[in-house]
Copies of this chain bind each other. A is one copy, B any other.
């Protein structure tokens, strides 16, 4: 099967033009086929504050009311997406910015109101792999914003880590997918206070132990739970890594020889 790199970028790197620029230079060196999935960083919260819209969070997740939906669509599918596309075009990647509504790429269903009403949040139901494959075969670089649609004309907010996972799972039937979640840390830390405690590999049983011991907590838990779904579904390589390591990520290097970030594994 052909190789495919799916890279998710999020966090502070999105908000800082210099870091974003460096990251995109690294990403542009990665050979095609490849897909970039981005979050929105802190810009959506900042814009909501500027507009006087109260930000409601439950268990680390944003409640998306009607006004907040407009904010996230503007920031994620508008400013961040188009800025990234323009910067990749300048680096000779033929980037195409996409939300889940474009090409009917990602169909979702509004999450049930119970037990928590998250508002206009969509759970992924279907990925248009046929269209994605066509784009990839034409050497186009899809840049995917974490906005989906329900097929009835409504946009929905969907977590960017989830989008990356769902794309990786859907495409793993046709590609050897390497999925990298990039963020500000060098990988999964066995001691959250020590940046040098990066784990080279993390088996799911060890992850459960670290979680129970409280060594992995808050935002890392939904991120890793998400990532293990991809491992379990057969995605070839799943890594959690620092965004500045992207230039070192060459798809021809065998997984066991990648000496940065954390490779997630399931127990034999």
Contact = CB atoms under 8 A, between A and B. Distances in A.
Contact of A89 (B47, B51, B81, B101): B101
Interface string A144-166: 00010101111100000000000
Interface in A107-149: 140, 147, 149
Given A78-B79, A96-B103, A86 B50 contact: no
6 nearest A-B pairs in the assembled complex, by CB-CB distance: A78-B78, A90-B153, A74-B74, A74-B78, A86-B101, A86-B149
Nearest to A154: B86
A104 B89 contact: yes
A7 interface: no
Interface of A: 47, 50-52, 70, 73-79, 81-83, 85-87, 89-91, 94-97, 99, 101-104, 140, 147, 149, 151-155
Q: How many copies does the complex hold?
A: 2
A114 B175 CA distance: 53
Given A78-B74, A79-B78, A103 B140 contact: yes
Contacts of A90: 151-153
A268 to B, nearest CB: 44
A73 B79 contact: yes
A110 to B, nearest CB: 13
